[in-house]
Amino acid sequence: MTSSELWTRATADRYDAEENEMSSAAVLGPTLAFLAELAGDGRALEFAIGTGRVGVPLRERGVPVVGIELSEHMAAVLRRKIDEDALPVTIGDMATTTVPGEFTLVYLVYNTITNLLTQDEQVECFRNAARHLAPGGRFVIELGVPPLRFLPPGQVAVPFDVSERHLGFDTFDLVEQVLVSHHFTHDGDDGRYRRDNSRHRYAWPAELDLMARIVGLELERRVADWDGTPFTQDSAKHISVWRKPT
């Protein structure tokens, strides 16, 4: 097992409800169109498939999807939505776990590569993608750009959500290149907040490009969102596509 933190049953059971906005047609429509076009007539492999937020509707669009997921609890939620024969899922980590066959597309969405807490493990994730790709296949990552421009000298925290139901902020260790996401979520009507946190290793786009080069992949495209918005110095995230040479 890698350094990724293991999602619990309680977290898995409430994940879809808490990420309801990310499952909306406005978010998923461009995502699925982007991935389906890259998959073409081939198969797709999703690293850290979770509860199937992307993988299940992508399969319903006609793309054969296979998943790798570290948390058995997250995979159990996915299994309530679709049969194993329709969307097979292997329990394991995304840096070392392998599945049979070749794929035209391997993808990793929603900042999940940051769950690997060391640079070596992130490189191995790229290597694992490359070993699964057919020649000419693509590896896609969706990842936020580290918001360090919001850190004045002496400050270590950046808020990312301040709403009636949820307060979220990240704290940064700039030496170790690790952030901790802190969540305070309002549960029920009694005024109480549930506190959660998770650790992540953030990485810059150029660092990911070097990881790709190490394993023999070439940067093909980088955009700011699934709808193809150009990536600029002010973009908050990026969708990057690396290609395995033929």
DSSP helix/strand/coil, 181: strand
Lowest average pLDDT, out of 96-100, 123-127, 148-152, 225-229, goes to 148-152
> What is the model's pLDDT at position 233?
95
Residues in the chain, total: 246
125-160, pLDDT tens digit by residue? Answer: 999 999 999 999 999 999 999 999 999 888 899 999
Q: Exposed/middle/buried for 45, CB within 10 Å: 0-12, 13-18, 19+?
A: buried
> What is the model's pLDDT at position 1?
62
- Please give the structure tokens belonging to residue 11: 């977290």
Max CA distance (Å), the chain: 59
> What is the model's pLDDT at position 179?
95
pTM (2 decimals)?
A: 0.94
3-59, pLDDT tens digit by residue? Answer: 888 888 888 888 888 887 888 888 899 999 999 999 999 999 999 999 999 999 999
Q: What is the mean pLDDT of the chain?
A: 94
